Chains A and B, each alone.
Chain A
Amino acid sequence: MSPTANKSLNPLPNKERMKVPRQCMPEQAADERNKNFSEVNLGYSPELARQEALRCLECSKPSCTDNCPVGVDVKKFVELIVAGDFLAAAAKIRESNVLPAVTGRVCPQEDHCEGHCLLSKKVKPLGIGYLERFVADYEQRMGNHVVPNVPPTGKKIAVVGSGPSGLTVAGDLIQKGHKVRVFEALHELGGVLVYGIPEFRLPKQIIREQLDYMREMGVEFETDVVVGRTVTIDELINEEGYDAVYIGTGAGLPQFMGIPGEHLNGVYSANEFLTRINLMKAYKFPQYDEPMLDLHGKDVAVIGGGNTALDAIRSALRLGARKAHVIYRRSDAEMPARAEEVHHAKQEGIDFQMLTAPVEFLSDGKGWLTAVKCVRMELGEPDSTGRRRPVPVKGSEFDLPLSVAIMAIGTTANPIVPSTTPGLGTDKRGYIVADAEKQRTTRKGVFAGGDIVTGAATVILAMGAGRRAAASIHEYLATGEW
């Protein structure tokens, strides 16, 4: 991995590049943004982007790309930013990533590209996510939509689910000349990008623009179709003539802890809480019809330490919660949430009750939540995930007053597609079995990827699976070999 500047467009010698500080992302002030749903990060200006791009060491074997689930050519697109050709930079990213405006915002870069950036051995890593976001937004502002002109192959693919993995499959396959139709269960397209991730982290307008782009490329969409109920996988293949099917149905039902009081009014799953806010706009009730509990002046807590947990509790804060707590049974180091979100949440005034676990939800005797009884934890021996197992500390119980509790402790597999698709193999937890290399299921012509295969993971991992699936679907349609 020897840094080289051969024929580089970057005018700075390597030593100088290390001296340029990582350019800060302009953001809304914490005490303002915790009262609104506008985006926290405001995006780089062209000047900031160029300045940040100058920091790239242009490694001969870039481990950023090696560690990107969709294999974005980071070195090249960053070089194009240095050269000031932002549209070319966007086009370069689009070769491997159909949703750059999304991943630029929600990808946990510290686990992928930036986590492996050579700069990070000495200084802060290159702001790859910020740069990706910048060029994607720039391309969008310029209205620069390149619609590929490829001869039609005459093959038809059904994509089940319009979340990040399904959209990746659709975007990749439409560019190969296949006909693609995406089926979505909800009334709005985008899957978790729309019902799950809040506006302040991923404005819905961005998804709409990406979807418009895909429509221009020829992707067809059909909402209000629950595959497995409205139409089965077998009917799509045998009766509607699809040559291949991709299943990207995403996360399933929320898990609960099984502790007393989880059925009290005021206890939500994070999926329900976020769906009411993001998809149904319940916070605009009564303009919108879907209701939610009024959080103004209320004490709210989320149970869990992932991105979903932080999305939920930061939304609660924005909806007027007086106190907003995160209750997480392990310590900071084990928190699965994106580093930037934890940082932002702390700035906004979220209280973190670490090494703490709920044991019982308490009621007013009329079915409404009033408090949660918690116990403090300490870390013991590592468990099967390699993380140190939290163990309750005897006698450390305490009550935290609460009006609303949000459970964000993971999901289980959605049974609808497997239970209605004979011969589709699942693992013991109910997730669809697909090989890691080609995303093939146990049914010929049927591929699967994303959370319905791996269990709850990230947008970028789902997109990576979609990308692998698109390549192997293309190969399968060309050769007929399984």
Chain B
Amino acid sequence: MFKIIHAEFLAPGIKRLVLAAPRIARKQKPGQFVILRVHEEGERIPVTIENSDPARGTISIVVQAAGKTTQMLTALNAGENILDVVGPLGKPSEIENFGTVVVVGGGVGTAMAYPSAAAFKKAGNRVISIVGARNKELVILEQEMRAVSHTLLITTDDGSYADKGFVTDKLRQLIENGTRIDLVLAIGPIVMMKAVAEVTRKENIRTMVSLNPIMIDGTGMCGGCRVLIDNKSEFACVDGPEFDAHKVNFDVLVQRNSMYRDAEQRSLAEYRRELAEKPAGSCRGECKAADHADGDRAKDNSANQDCAIAQGGRR
């Protein structure tokens, strides 16, 4: 059992949970993630680690409500427990002084990009961060990202905050302005990472993306997280999660992540029905989370590429 020390919404449907997990806190490095299970009959899902505090023995995770498990997670509050948390999993980001690094965070992927941005800055890089979100409400970790970046650029799809547009627009502008870029790290929805890869491919800029395939054990046993890299099978949990964006077959990732779409929606629908049948007054914030998810789900249905979120997974 892993106790929740602190819980707060960063945006509608996006929650930060600070957990007592001393072993993980000691070992966590940027780029790594945890797998957790909320209850005895629950699934295992990969979740982003935002940062950790080894002295206090805590880790901070960020979850966006989408499927049943993430709905349940975002309904949890301080003092409650998460049944299983295992990690830190995956290889850490490769951090060294590359020169100028552009860190791109899309939506809740910003939480995963944040510790890497901080580490790049600490290693002496010039860090230009680009944070993108659907709208003003969904921009997260703005202050945190500003603190670890030399320059922070923000875009919203609808223009309700900062500049209207996509992260790729900002990236293209940087390139057109003649900014020398030694490395790009992009973490967010698959469609965003694919778009970033296409922009940098033409310029021959080394680009890493953090992949979020279907995953069960996360320890190199089941092989569910296989991704196609340079036309060969690799496993995100032990070989990744970060891969050379120009070698990733994003279409296969999108296709494989859609494998359980129907089941996920059925699971969420049944969960909501259960919640609705609960007597009034027993709600501990679930309603709020469920309301937020309506928007997400509508988007999941309309935008096939956004299945990363429908997965209830790491972004």
Contact = CB atoms under 8 A, between A and B. Distances in A.
Interface in B191-228: 216-224, 226, 228
A414 B85 CA distance: 21
B27 interface: yes
Contacts of B235: 253
Contacts of B219: 185-186, 226, 229, 414, 416
Contacts of B163: none
B216 A290 contact: yes
Contacts of A250: 221
A226 B89 contact: yes
Contacts of A264: 255
A254 interface: yes
6 contacts: A225-B86, A250-B221, A262-B233, A272-B223, A275-B222, A290-B44
A231 interface: yes
A276 B216 contact: yes
Interface string B82-94: 0111111100000
Interface in A281-296: 281, 284-291, 293
Nearest to A407: B223
Contacts of B220: 252-253, 414-416
Contact of A414 (B27, B221, B263): B221
Interface of B: 23-24, 27, 32, 37, 41-44, 68-69, 83-89, 216-224, 226, 228, 232-233, 235, 238, 249, 252, 255-256, 258-260, 263-264, 266-267, 270
A272 B238 contact: no
B216 A265 contact: no
A272 to B, nearest CB: 4
Main secondary structure on B side of the interface with A: mixed
A187 B23 CA distance: 15
Contact of B223 (A187, A269, A285, A415): A269
Nearest to A232: B27
Contacts of A285: 263, 267
Interface of A: 185-187, 195, 223-226, 229-231, 250-254, 256, 258, 262-265, 268-269, 271-272, 275-276, 279-281, 284-291, 293, 367, 414-416
A284 B32 CA distance: 31
Given A231-B23, A269-B223, A290-B44, 10 more contacts: A185-B219, A195-B221, A226-B89, A229-B88, A253-B235, A258-B233, A269-B222, A271-B222, A291-B260, A414-B221
B238 A280 contact: no
Nearest to A275: B222
Nearest to B23: A230
A430 to B, nearest CB: 11
A475 B226 CA distance: 43
A289 B223 contact: no
A204 to B, nearest CB: 14
B33 to A, nearest CB: 11
B87 A280 contact: no
A262 B260 CA distance: 17
Contact of B270 (A230, A252, A286, A291): A286
